[in-house]
Structure 1
Amino acid sequence: MDGVAAVERALAIAQALEVARQPLSLTELAHHTGLYKSTILRLLVSLERGGLVVRRSDQSYTLGPFAVRLGRAYDACMPLEASLQPLMEQLVRDGMESPSFHVVHDAHSRICMLRVDSMHSTLDRVRVGDLLPLHAGAPGKVLRQAAPDPQVADISPLLQVSFGERDPSCAAVAGPVFGPGQELLGALSFSGPLDRFNLSTVHVMGPVLLAACQKATSLLGGVWPHG
């Protein structure tokens, strides 16, 4: 099934506003979406009626209150922050690299849903809401359910690593978090500057990360695979 073009265009407008994190004019929306202004105006009428978009007095547009309701409904259905944030904060207190939790956004990208910076003086640049490539980086490999990485297969076939793939100066190790029915919900990772990552440090971090992934799976009602 190909979907509905009008719905995809309306979602492109909402996504442009979400990425911008500030009001956009009609001209700016056209630039960000690649849509004709006349098409955008027609779609904005429906988006305004639904409360997903609000038109301001200066004729710019921003996300509306329905976006807040959607976020709260998502949190109620999938309590990621309540379940995983304390676990991730404890990992930082234990001296681990910065933990992040990623989920699939679309066929080409993943989105960072949660992030806690480590206590190290230098960090990698990942923030909540960032869209990152699905084809690069350890979390992307987990979400794609790529073949086990031979570099860490002796720790667990569930682990994935990346050294400078997405960002030449950064590295990461990631593992899966499962939901009910062993559905893959997301990827929990440790990431940081490349100079603090090598196979020796990954062999130290890997078992800690896997234990955290198993606990996160339990917190979210999932079943950890055995064997």
Structure 2
Amino acid sequence: MPSRSASTPKLSPGYAANMEGVAAVERALAIVEAIERAEQPLTLTGIAEATGLYKSAVLRMMVTLERRGLVLRQQDQRYVLGPLAFRLGRAYERSNRVEEQLAPLMQALVERGTESPSFHVRQDDETRLCLLRFDSHHSTLDRVRAGDLLPLKRGAAGKVLLRFGTGDAAAFGGELAEYSFGERDPLCGAVAGPVFGPGGQLLGALSLSGPLDRFTESAVKKMVKPLLEACETATRNLGGVWPATRRAR
């Protein structure tokens, strides 16, 4: 019988339990996320259906969430995010300075005639969150908005988040940009690059996206250079170090 490796210590029951998290907190956050994703205020029944929780459990959670200001019950008994959610969002912006640094760079890309710039961060193992979005001056646009949850494993921005999010030095070999031609949406094309923070941490992916028929070879070539220049400027402004320049493929 093989013996346990000396380099793999056995976890104590208490430590293992702590790593599982707290079920009540998980359920409460699931409720908040369901309200955040909804396109309109939700009833208790709607929240229960979205989370898979019993209405009685949702109601108990709501008492605390309302008291702390994370959700708000309207007069029609439907629920929306409360003022604490807004304050948390503003605190995130203050601590990360992401919008402050990226918004002018993204607007400058629009003025240069590129496709629509978006900034994406990893949400979980399956999704990414569009944190910022500016529409291009073109008459037709792709359907991406700030706050949208998109698949992590499809699309140019997702490729960047997966490739550079591990911190593996091998990820920096070759070109820094990633491309997508109809992967997430068969009618959409995109090109994306990484934005790094202090210590080489990947902060997110800056992408340019739009209708696929405008992503010709010549158009993509024109967009890659200003996109990566914006990624480099954002990286330096946010305290990161930009990798050595790579040739676009």
Aligned AA for 1:26?
L
Find the aligned partners of 2:71 and 2:193 in 1 and give their Cα distance. Answer: 37
User: Is residue 229 of structure 2 the alignment partner of residue 211 of structure 1?
Assistant: yes
Matched residue, 1:142: 160
Secondary structure at 1:51 match in 2: coil
Deviates more, 1:194-203 or 1:118-127: 194-203
Matched residue, 1:118: 136
User: Is residue 92 of structure 2 the alignment partner of residue 82 of structure 1?
Assistant: no
Aligned AA for 1:169?
L
Matched residue, 1:38: 56
> Could you tell me whether the CA contact under 8 Å between 1:178 and 1:224 is conserved in 2?
yes
Find the aligned partners of 2:63 and 2:145 in 1 and give their Cα distance. Answer: 32
Find the aligned partners of 1:102 and 1:187 in 2 and give their Cα distance. Answer: 5
Q: Report the Cα offset of residue 24 of structure 1.
A: 1.4
Matched residue, 1:104: 122
Q: Deviations 1:113-156 (Å, cap 9, x if unpaired)?
A: 1111111111111101010000000000000017xxxxxxxxx5
Q: Report the Cα offset of residue 58 of structure 1.
A: 2.8
Q: Deviations 1:25-53 (Å, cap 9, x if unpaired)?
A: 11111111111101111111221221111
> Could you tell me whether the CA contact under 8 Å between 1:182 and 1:225 is conserved in 2?
no
Secondary structure at 2:223 match in 1: helix
Matched residue, 2:23: 5
Secondary structure at 1:218 match in 2: helix
Q: How does 1:18-37 map to 2 (within 5 A)?
A: 18-37=36-55
Aligned AA for 1:139?
A
Identity over the aligned pairs, expressed in percent?
64
Find the aligned partners of 2:81 and 2:238 in 1 and give their Cα distance. Answer: 29
Find the aligned partners of 2:244 and 2:140 in 1 and give their Cα distance. Answer: 36
Aligned AA for 2:69?
G
Q: Deviations 1:165-210 (Å, cap 9, x if unpaired)?
A: 0000000000000000110000001111111113332222112111
Q: Report the Cα offset of residue 21 of structure 1.
A: 4.4
Find the aligned partners of 2:27 and 2:86 in 1 and give their Cα distance. Answer: 21
Q: Report the Cα offset of residue 5 of structure 1.
A: 1.9
Aligned AA for 2:161?
L
Secondary structure at 2:191 match in 1: strand
User: Is residue 180 of structure 2 the alignment partner of residue 162 of structure 1?
Assistant: yes
Q: Compute the TM-score of the two structures, normalised by the length of structure 1.
A: 0.91
Aligned AA for 2:196?
F
Find the aligned partners of 1:131 and 1:5 in 2 and give their Cα distance. Answer: 24
Matched residue, 1:71: 89
Runs of 4 or more consecutive aligned structure 1 residues displaced over 4 Å after TM superposition: none
Structure 1 gaps of 5+ residues are 147-155
Equivalent in 68, 71, 96 of residue 53 of structure 1: 71
Aligned AA for 2:71?
V
Structure 2 gaps of 5+ residues are 1-18, 165-173
Matched residue, 1:182: 200
